[in-house]
A and B are shown apart, each in its own frame.
Chain A
Amino acid sequence: MTQLHTHKRKHPWWSPERPWVWLLPIVILLAIYSVYPFIFNIIISFQRFDPMDKAFKWNFPANWINLFTNSDFLKAFRITATYGIIALVVELVLGIAIALAFDRSRVRLRGLWQSLFILPMVVPPVIAGLMFRFLQNADYGIISNILYALGIIERSEPLIGGTGRNVLLAVLIADVWQWTPFVALIVLAGLKSMPHEPLEAAVVDGATPWQLFWEIKLPLLRGVLAVAVLFRIVDLLRLFDYVAIMTSGGPGGNSETISHYAYRMHKSIEWGMVSVIGIVVLILAIVVTNAYMRAFKVKF
Chain B
Amino acid sequence: MAITQLPASGVTRKVEATQAERVARRRHRRESIAQTAVAAFIALFFFAPIAYWFLVSVKPLTYTMSWPPVLLSEPIFDWYEVVVLGLDPNVGAKTGIVFNGAAGDYYVIPYLLNSIVIGVLSTIVAVGLATPAAYALSRFHFQRRSSVIAWILSTRMMPPVVAMFPLFWLYTQADQRVFSSIFGRGTSVLYDSLLGVLLVHVVVNLPLSTLLLKSFFDDIPTDLDEAAMVDGCTRWQAFSKVIWHYALPGMAAAAILAFITSWNEFLLTLTVTRTQFRTVPVFGSTFDVSAAGTEWGALAAVSTTAMVPVFIFVLIVQRNLVRGLTMGAVKG
Interface residues of A (CB under 8 A from B): 16-19, 22-23, 25-27, 29-30, 32-34, 36-38, 40-41, 44, 98, 101-102, 104-110, 112-120, 122-127, 130-135, 137, 139-140, 142, 145, 177, 180-182, 185-186, 188-190, 193, 223-224, 227-228, 231, 234, 237-238, 240-241, 244-246, 248, 258-259, 262-263, 266, 271, 274-275, 277-279, 281-282, 285-286, 289, 298-300
B-side contacts of A238, CB under 8 Å: 159-161
Task: Give B108-137 as 1s and 0s: 1 = Cβ < 8 Å from A's Cβ atoms.
Answer: 000000000000000000000110110111
**B165 touching A275 by the CB < 8 A rule?**
yes
| Contact assessment for B310 and A281 in the assembled complex, using a CB-CB cutoff below 8 Å | no
Whether A116 lies near B235 (C-beta < 8 A) is no
For chain B residues 151-166, which have a beta carbon within 8 Å of chain A?
Answer: 151-166
Bound CA span A107–B33, Å: 8
Q: How large is the interface on B (under 10, 10 to 19, 20 to 34, 35 or more residues)?
A: 35 or more
Q: Do the beta carbons of A126 and B285 come within 8 Å of each other?
A: yes
Report which residue of B133, B148, B161, B169 has the largest number of chain A beta carbons within 10 angstroms of its beta carbon: B161
Report the nearest B residue to A41, measured CB to CB: B166
Checking A18, A116, A123, A126 against B43 with a beta-carbon cut-off of 8 angstroms, the contacting residue is: A116
Closest partner residue, chain A, to B152 (CB atom): A30
* CB < 8 Å A-B pair total: 293
Whether A16 contacts B329 in the complex (CB less than 8 A), given A140-B69, A300-B153, comes out as no
* Contact call A101/B207, Cβ cutoff below 8 A: no
B166 proximity list for chain A (CB < 8 A): 36-37, 40-41, 44, 275, 278
Q: Any chain A CB within 8 A of the CB of B311?
A: yes
B42, A259: Cβ atoms closer than 8 Å = no
Residues of B contacting A123 in the complex (Cβ-Cβ under 8 angstroms): 50, 307, 310
Question: Chain A residues near B142 (CB, 8 Å)?
Answer: 18-19
Decide yes or no whether B318 CB sits under 8 A from chain A: yes
Partner of B133 from A26, A125, A145, A285 at Cβ < 8 Å: A26
Instruction: Give the residue of B136, B140, B159, B332 whose beta carbon is less than 8 angstroms from that of A282.
Output: B159
A101 touches B165 (CB 8 A): no
Name the residue in A16, A22, A259 with the highest tally of chain B Cβ atoms < 10 Å from its Cβ: A22
Contact B330 A127 (CB under 8 A): no
Q: List 17 A-B contacts (CB under 8 A).
A: A17-B235, A19-B136, A23-B136, A25-B129, A26-B210, A30-B152, A36-B166, A101-B35, A117-B43, A122-B311, A125-B281, A127-B303, A130-B287, A189-B330, A227-B326, A274-B161, A300-B149
Asked whether A108 lies within 8 Å of B36 as measured between CB atoms, the reply is yes
Stretch at the interface among B59-67, B72-80, B94-102, B247-255: B59-67
A224 to B165, CA, bound (A): 35
| Secondary structure of the A contact surface, majority rule | helix
- Does A115 lie within 8 Å of B285, measured CB to CB? no
With A122-B311, A274-B164 in contact, is A300–B211 under 8 Å at CB? yes
Given A120-B50, A227-B329, decide whether A263 and B267 contact each other with a Cβ distance below 8 A: yes
Closest B residue to A134 by CB, please name it.
B296
Residue of A nearest to B332 (CB): A189
Evaluate contact between A185 and B321: CB separation under 8 angstroms: yes
B43: A residues at CB distance < 8 A? 112-114, 116-117
B3-11, B180-188, B258-266: which lies at the A interface? B258-266
Are A107 and B35 CB-contacts (below 8 A) given A127-B303, A135-B52? Answer: yes
Interface string of B42-55 (1 = CB under 8 A from A): 11101101101100
Q: Is the CB of A124 within 8 A of B235?
A: no
Nearest A residue to B131, CB-CB: A22
How close is B106's CB to chain A, nearest CB, in angstroms?
12
The verdict on B322 contacting chain A, using a C-beta distance below 8 Å, is yes
B56 CB–A CB distance under 8 Å:
yes
Instruction: Tell me if B314 is interfacial: C-beta within 8 Å of chain A.
Output: yes
User: CB distance A122 to B314 under 8 Å?
Assistant: yes
List residues of chain B with CB within 8 A of the CB of A182: 325
Q: Is the CB of A299 within 8 A of B263?
A: no
Encoded as 1 (CB less than 8 Å from any A CB) or 0, chain B from 275 to 290 comes to: 0000011101101011
**Which one of A133, A275, A285, A300 lies within 8 Å of B289 (CB-CB)?**
A133
Q: Give chain A residues whose Cβ lies under 8 Å from the Cβ of B53.
A: 131, 134-135
Whether A29 contacts B133 by the Cβ 8 Å rule is no
| Of B66, B69, B236, B289, the contact of A130 (CB 8 Å cutoff) | B289
When A and B form their complex, which 6 residue pairs have the shortest distance between CB atoms, in order from nearest? A22-B136, A238-B159, A37-B166, A126-B281, A19-B140, A113-B43
Also in contact, A120 and B322, with CB within 8 A (given A37-B166, A127-B281): no
Residues of B within 8 A of A133 (CB): 289
In the assembled complex, B299 has its CB within 8 A of some CB on chain A: yes
| Least CB separation from A11: chain B residue | B235
Q: Is the CB of B322 within 8 A of A185?
A: yes
A35 to chain B, nearest CB (A): 9
